[in-house]
Chains A and B, each alone.
Chain A
Amino acid sequence: MPSLRELQQLAYRAIVLDEDAPSLVGPRDARFTTARLGVYRNNARENFHKTLAVTYPVVQRLVGELCFRGLARSYMRDFPSRSGNLGHFGAELATLLDICYRDTAFGYLADVARLEWAVAEAETAADALPFDLLHLTGVPADDYAGLRFALRAPVRLLSSLFPVFTIWEANQSADVRPVALNKGPEHVLVTRRASGVQLHRLDTGTFAFARSLADGESLADACGAGEAATADFDAATALKTLTQLEVLAGFRLPADEVE
């Protein structure tokens, strides 16, 4: 009789890879093997498909139900679940879509998946109170340039060569609205506020500014990133926008830096 480890290996391969497994079952159930394995195979397919469908409703709508089922099946085999917590499952769908569709007319699908994964992360990230600019009133003006801001945990920033925000937005309602894929790059801020997860399109300069802050760079460097991205960048406006959207969680003074 196979060891417990061998049994579990046989079962996994039989369920996920559809391999035959005559030595998996005891004599009592030998005549049932194929049909009964079908229950577990169906459970796995449906469970993983449902998990992906909940996380990626826009991708599913874009490719259609049948194609999405095929993607889910490929994903289950090529990117197996690595956790007993299904909340982690699906993180690499964009990678699979890149493999399948990069350099095709459907190249945008991977970035739409990245955006939907960012939404999923924002929904479950740690709670964090928003930052009020009034907290800066006590900071000496000489220290402004060296300030480093922390972003709230649910905040995600995503940039794409495709109009991913427009695609996502167009697929939030029941009616079909065509999107011009040559519309150009879009930069998206995903955050979670009291009312739930929100998505906002950011201009190039504000996005570069926010990206720099997210990377831990100083306010001066973030302003430089914004100015490098667009000539008419205005740091005060960008900071106000990020504050209103509850992007920031706090800041560190230059004196707080650890050498």
Chain B
Amino acid sequence: MSATPDARALGAPVPASAGIGLRSAHVGHFIDGHPDVPWLEVHSENYFAAGGAAHAALTRIRSAYPLSFHGVGLSLGSVDPLDRAHLDRLRELVRRYDPALVSEHLSWSSVGGQFLNDLLPLPATREALEHMVLRVDATQERLGRRILIENVSSYLAMGAGEMPEHCFLAELAQRTGCGVLLDVNNLYVNECNHGALAATFIAGLPVGSVGEIHLAGHSVHDYDGEKVVVDTHSTRVCAAVWRLYERAIARFGRVPTLIEWDSDLPELAVLVDEARHADQIMEVGYAVAA
């Protein structure tokens, strides 16, 4: 079966099945062949340009696939003023493409107007929580819609947390109405790097708060003799992360799930195969005890 504009009408919601992240090397497949993938996620900032080939391609793809827009540059956790121009550009994109999901990160990227263009972790403090509540409120108000906020991977806990991160995210969701984008690989990476138990995180998030799940691969690197697990999005999902995913599905039910792959990008068929595996887990997920 192939995806067609008839089967996947504009404005259709992202189904509770496994999609993949659209990368430029695979764009041609989606324009020419309509591979059977239920939905696609793109990085919002990749479409911030006024025109060009990327927009032409996405316009065609949008007619056949539900989309999710995943931002990496809004720097919601930064103490810098919210970048209104960035937010307004995102608003224009959301109006143009009408994505079913819009998401950003529980992270910061800039200080003093200087950007690291990375997803740096926030300390789980009351100060950071109050700040994030204001920023998510402002973003949702400007976009006129609910967004999802993703937990990030971390290699160094900056600052001393005052609460578990899942409590931080749960309160953020409860107070702002945002959803959670649960990145299960990030939970695993953080468990390896910090000992923060991923299962505890999953068990602590309210049922109904999770609007999307991310799955990805990671790699182990040696920094000054110390092993660090890095969220590289460069390999297949590992067995331990699949087990955590089963646990998440058992708790949260069927949730739109994304296979992320950014570095050492393989053939599209590999990503589709990973997505099929996630779909199989969702099929039997309710039977797995959390």
Within 8 A of A (CB), among B106-127: 108-118, 120, 122-123, 125, 127
Task: Determine how close the nearest CB of chain B comes to the CB of A85; give it in whole angstroms.
Answer: 5
CA A7 to CA B55, docked complex, whole Å: 38
Q: Number of A residues contacting the other chain (C-beta, 8 Å)?
A: 51
Chain A 1-21 against B: per-residue CB contact (8 Å), 1 yes, 0 no? Answer: 111110111011001100000
Query: Is B52 touching A26 in the complex (CB atoms < 8 A)?
Result: no
Knowing A7-B123, A85-B45 touch, does A39 contact B79 (C-beta < 8 A)?
no
Is there a chain B Cβ closer than 8 Å to A81's Cβ?
yes
Query: Is A82 touching B113 in the complex (CB atoms < 8 A)?
Result: yes
**B-side binding surface: helix, strand, loop or mixed?**
mixed
Knowing A25-B157, A81-B117 touch, does A5 contact B111 (C-beta < 8 A)?
yes
Residues from chain A with Cβ under 8 Å of B122 in the complex: 4
| Most chain A beta-carbon contacts within 10 A, residue among B49, B54, B115, B194 | B115
Query: Is B118 touching A40 in the complex (CB atoms < 8 A)?
Result: yes
Is there a chain B Cβ closer than 8 Å to A251's Cβ?
no
**Closest residue to B227 on the A side, CB-wise?**
A35
Chain A 230-246 against B: per-residue CB contact (8 Å), 1 yes, 0 no? Answer: 00000000000000000
Query: Is B228 touching A35 in the complex (CB atoms < 8 A)?
Result: yes
Residues from chain A with Cβ under 8 Å of B112 in the complex: 9, 12
Residues from chain B with Cβ under 8 Å of A3 in the complex: 127
Query: Is B161 touching A26 in the complex (CB atoms < 8 A)?
Result: yes
Query: Is A126 touching B53 in the complex (CB atoms < 8 A)?
Result: no
Residues from chain A with Cβ under 8 Å of B151 in the complex: none
Residue of B51, B52, B74, B155 near A84 (CB, 8 A) is: B74
Query: Is B159 touching A38 in the complex (CB atoms < 8 A)?
Result: no
Is there a chain B Cβ closer than 8 Å to A135's Cβ?
no
Which listed segment binds A: B177-185, B199-207, B217-225? B217-225
Residue of A36, A85, A196 near B48 (CB, 8 A) is: A85
Beyond A11-B158, A39-B155, 4 extra complex contacts between A and B, CB < 8 Å: A8-B120, A11-B111, A11-B120, A83-B83
- 27 pairs from A and B in contact (CB 8 Å cutoff): A4-B79, A4-B122, A4-B127, A5-B111, A7-B159, A8-B120, A11-B120, A11-B158, A16-B116, A24-B156, A25-B156, A36-B155, A36-B226, A40-B118, A42-B223, A44-B116, A84-B45, A84-B74, A85-B73, A85-B86, A87-B45, A123-B53, A125-B51, A126-B51, A127-B50, A128-B51, A153-B51
